[in-house]
Amino acid sequence: FKRAGEKKTEFVHTLNGSGLAVGRTLVAVMENYQDEGGRIAVPEVLKPYMPKGMTYVGGAA
């Protein structure tokens, strides 16, 4: 957004995840990406934020 009288555009930030329901978002990922063994596949869009090579979370290895 731009403050009144300024030319510089700034990013708007949220506090404590108030921009989305973090718990609900996490549960949606878990429900949609869990396999029969209980592992959660890391969605492609989240892989850049995971340790290199991590494709699954949890469950039996």
- Domain range for residue 13? 1-61
**CB-CB contact of 59 with 40 (8 Å):** yes
Q: What percent of the chain has pLDDT over 70?
A: 97
Taking only the tens place, the pLDDT of each residue in 31-52 is 999 999 999 999 999 999 999 9
**CB-CB contact of 42 with 18 (8 Å):** no
Measure the CA–CA gap between 47 and 57, rounded to whole angstroms: 11
- Number of domains the chain is built from: 1
When computed from its CA atoms, the radius of gyration of the chain, rounded to whole angstroms, is: 17
Measure the CA–CA gap between 2 and 43, rounded to whole angstroms: 34
Taking only the tens place, the pLDDT of each residue in 20-32 is 788 888 999 999 9
Rounded to the nearest 5 degrees, what angle is found at the Cα of 49, between the Cα atoms of 25 and 33? 45
